[in-house]
Chain A
Amino acid sequence: MPRSLWNGTIAFGLVRVPVKLHTATESKSISFRERHLSDGAAIEHRRVCVAEDREVPYSEIVKGFEVSSGSYVMLTKEEIAAAEGPEARVIEVEHFVDGQEIDPAYYERAYYLSPGQLGDDAYRTLHSALKTSGKVGIGRFLFHGKAHLAAMRALEEVIVLHTMRFADEFVDPRELEIAIADKQPSKLEIDAARLLIDQLVSSFEPDAYENTYRAAVLGVIEQKARGEKIEVPESQQQTGEGELLSALKASLEESHVRKRRRPAGGTSRSGGKAPRSSGGTPRSSGSDQPSSKAAIHARRRTRGEG
Chain B
Amino acid sequence: MARPLWSGSLSFGLVNVPVVLYSSVRDRGVHFSQLHESDGSPIQTRRVCALEEREVPWNEIVKGYEMEDGSWILLSDEDLAAAAPRKSHTIDIEAFVQEREIDPIYLDRPYLLVPENESAARAYALLGEAMGNSGRVALGRFVMRAKEHLVSIRPRGELLTLTTMRFHDEVRSSADVAAEIDAAAVPGREQIENAIAMIAELEVPFEPAGYRDEHRAHLQRLIKRKQKGQKISVASAPPKPKPKPEATPTAPDLMGALEQSLARIRGESTEAGKKKAKKTRATPPAGRPSRSSAKRSS
Contact = CB atoms under 8 A, between A and B. Distances in A.
Contacts of A115: 180-182
A82 B238 CA distance: 8
A83 B237 contact: yes
Nearest to A15: B257
Contacts of B199: 96, 129-130, 133, 135, 137
A49 B84 contact: no
Contact of B122 (A48, A106, A118, A183): A183
B39 A52 contact: yes
A158 B118 contact: no
A167 B200 CA distance: 24
Contacts of B38: 60
A196 B50 contact: no
B125 A103 contact: no
B85 A233 contact: yes
25 contacts: A1-B179, A14-B257, A35-B74, A41-B52, A47-B45, A48-B46, A62-B37, A95-B204, A97-B203, A114-B181, A137-B199, A140-B214, A147-B216, A170-B24, A177-B1, A181-B115, A181-B125, A184-B122, A190-B129, A209-B167, A211-B167, A213-B143, A269-B86, A270-B90, A271-B84
Scoring A40, A78, A266 by chain B CB atoms within 10 A of each residue's CB, the highest score goes to: A40
A219 B79 CA distance: 11
Interface in A83-119: 83-86, 88, 90, 92-107, 110, 112-118
Nearest to A296: B68
A257 interface: no
B56 A61 contact: no
Contact of B174 (A26, A156, A294): A156
B209 interface: yes
A39 B101 contact: no
Given A117-B247, A122-B254, A168-B209, 10 more contacts: A15-B195, A37-B61, A44-B47, A46-B46, A62-B34, A88-B244, A96-B202, A104-B110, A133-B199, A213-B87
Interface in B241-261: 242-244, 247, 249-252, 254, 257-258, 260-261
A261 interface: no
Interface in A200-219: 200-204, 206-207, 209-214, 216-217, 219
Given A125-B192, A214-B148, A230-B78, A38 B60 contact: yes
A176 B101 contact: no
A158 to B, nearest CB: 5
Nearest to A124: B187
- B-side interface size class: 35 or more
Contact of B243 (A52, A86, A183): A86
A150 to B, nearest CB: 10
Interface string B121-153: 111111101110010100101010011101010
A93 to B, nearest CB: 7
Contacts, number: 626
B294 A167 contact: yes
Contacts of B176: 1-2, 22
Given A51-B41, A93-B202, A169-B28, A39 B49 contact: yes
A97 B281 CA distance: 12
A25 to B, nearest CB: 5
- A-side interface size class: 35 or more
A72 B36 CA distance: 11
B50 A43 contact: yes
Scoring B167, B222, B233, B239 by chain A CB atoms within 10 A of each residue's CB, the highest score goes to: B167
Interface string B145-185: 01110101010001101010011111110101111111001
Contact of A22 (B35, B166, B177): B177
A185 B125 contact: yes
Given A13-B261, A35-B61, A47-B43, A269 B130 contact: no
Contacts of A217: 75, 80, 83-84, 146
A225 B66 CA distance: 11
A64 B89 contact: no
Contacts of A162: 104-105
Given A14-B260, A15-B254, A201-B95, A60 B37 contact: yes
A51 B90 CA distance: 47
Contacts of A25: 105, 166, 170-172
Contact of A271 (B15, B86, B126): B86
A95 B265 CA distance: 12
Contacts of B100: 100
B143 A171 contact: no
A41 B41 contact: no
A235 B16 CA distance: 12
Nearest to B294: A103
Interface in A145-159: 146-147, 149, 151, 155-158
B272 interface: no
A171 B208 contact: no
Nearest to B53: A44
A38 B62 CA distance: 10
